[in-house]
Amino acid sequence: MTEALKQPRVYIFDTTLRDGEQSPGCSMTVPEKLRMAAKLVELGVDIMEAGFPIASDGDFEAVRRVSQEFHWVQVAALARATKNDVERAAAALEKAKRPRIHTFIATSDIHLQYKLKKSREQVLEDAVRAVELARKYVDDVEFSAEDATRTDIDYLEEISRAVVAAGARTVNLPDTVGFSVPEDYADRIGRIARALGDSAIVSVHCHDDLGLAVANSLAAVKAGARQIECTINGIGERAGNCSLEEVVMVMKTRNDFYPYETKIVSEHLFPASEMLSSIITFGPQPNKAIVGKNAFAHEAGIHQDGYLKNKSTYEIIDPKSVGVPEGKLVLGKHSGRHALKKRVEELGYPELTQEQLDAVYKCFTSAADNKKGFMNEEIIEFIEAALEGAAEKVS
Ligand code: KIV
Ligand code: ZN
């Protein structure tokens, strides 16, 4: 057995189709969810949360169709800790081969006082009752303590133990409002993971309000969590969820620090990101790690020079390993002759003379001051102009 196979397994729970989908500009129709689900299956996610069946008929239908069409994958349906919600989730998953009911209730005093207007005892009772009911329909039940990171830790432990005793196999401790920081989250997760031992998997679900969703998720895994809830491109409520592509690539690239195994096929990360962007109303920002348009672009002349001599000087991930067609060198006003020559060759003009290359470079630098960067088509125009100039000289 190789070292890698001995590494603890971390399950990737994708919630692009649920938490992601419920954020502005991200709603998806049932056929769109099915298309995205096919990509997520190809990517190798362990669990797909396909929707919140009580929320709408569309969500019900999405859970039903996704769980039937991808019957070999675990498919989760979200339900508040109420009878109606759990029964609706169970109905949507009725024909599923690997169904999971994911039931949740808020546990922080802030939510109890202002939102639920319930006591801790009442909430614990609701949670246990919902898990017991869900277990009547499916074996695989996940419980989430919403706003876990602002919940009294003794109460969080008490409710975690109670839902596991009631039959939950996974206990998720969401950083619902993105309030946590890595050290704090690791302490909290470590305490609950020790309390539950082997009786349940501890899961994490981080929002990115402080830009720490990925860091918090990784700290939690180090502290004993074995399921990460995340989304493609990090979409989700407000500032979004933990980005799937980032958290997975950290574990792969810095496996020395995070020696954990996932089943993600990283070559599908960029295609999954592209597909999501084509379905929802926006794509990742250009400088987004792993999948942004500039994630593998090197513009500064010094960087390009080093990169052309050896990619490892400025590239820590091979773009091909995440499915980006090729490392894109953005040609802009900081680019040097080396980079331009390389691009000219890549574009199929290896035979250009030094004089022609100089002509291309001249066109390029005089236009570059007013441009943010050149597309391949524009570079081709410069090349063609230089070639025409040479032809005119001969004729
Ligand atoms: O952020 C959150 O707390 C959630 C739960 C429903 C898991 O999305
Ligand atoms: Zn969430």
What is d(CA 359, CA 354) in angstroms, rounded to the nearest whole number? 9
- Any idea of the CA torsion for 356, 360, 363, 368, to the nearest 10 degrees? -160
Any ligand 1 atom below 6 A from CB of 205: yes
Chain centroid, CA 92 distance in Å: 25
Atom of ligand 1 nearest to the CA of 104: 6
- pLDDT band at residue 393 under the 50/70/90 scheme: low
Q: Give the pLDDT confidence score for residue 391 in this predicted structure.
A: 56
Q: What is the residue whose two structure tokens read 């339900």? A: 79
- pLDDT band at residue 363 under the 50/70/90 scheme: confident
Reply yes or no on whether the pLDDT at 365 is more than 80: yes
Percent of the chain with pLDDT over 70: 96
- Please name the helix (run of DSSP H) or strand (run of DSSP E) that holds residue 85, with its range, or none: helix 83-92
Lowest mean pLDDT of 59-63, 130-134, 146-150, 359-363, name the range. 359-363
Is 249 strand, coil or helix? Answer: helix
Q: Give the pLDDT confidence score for residue 7 in this predicted structure.
A: 96
Residue nearest to atom 5 of ligand 1 (CA): 146
For residue 32, the one-letter residue type is E
Q: Give the pLDDT confidence score for residue 330 in this predicted structure.
A: 67
- pLDDT band at residue 99 under the 50/70/90 scheme: very high
Please state, rounded to an integer, the average pLDDT across all residues of the chain: 93
Token readout for 179 is 């309030």
Token readout for 370 is 């007013």
> Burial, 135: exposed, middle or buried (Cβ in 10 Å; 0-12, 13-18, 19+)?
middle
Ligand 2 centroid to residue 292 C-alpha, Å: 23
pLDDT digits (tens, 9 = 90+) for 21-77: 999 999 999 999 999 999 999 999 999 999 999 999 999 999 999 999 999 999 999
pLDDT digits (tens, 9 = 90+) for 140-197: 999 999 999 999 999 999 999 999 999 999 999 999 999 999 999 999 999 999 999 9
pLDDT digits (tens, 9 = 90+) for 205-240: 999 999 999 999 999 999 999 999 999 999 999 999
Q: Give the pLDDT confidence score for residue 392 in this predicted structure.
A: 62
Atom of ligand 1 nearest to the CA of 18: 8
Any ligand 1 atom below 6 A from CB of 103: no
Residues near ion ligand 2 (CB < 5 Å) are 19
For domain 4-279, the CATH class is alpha beta
- pLDDT band at residue 116 under the 50/70/90 scheme: very high
- pLDDT band at residue 327 under the 50/70/90 scheme: very low
Ligand 1 centroid to residue 173 C-alpha, Å: 9
Reply yes or no on whether the pLDDT at 303 is more than 70: yes
Give residue limits of the domains in the chain.
Answer: 4-279, 297-394
What is d(CA 51, CA 17) in angstroms, rounded to the nearest whole number? 6
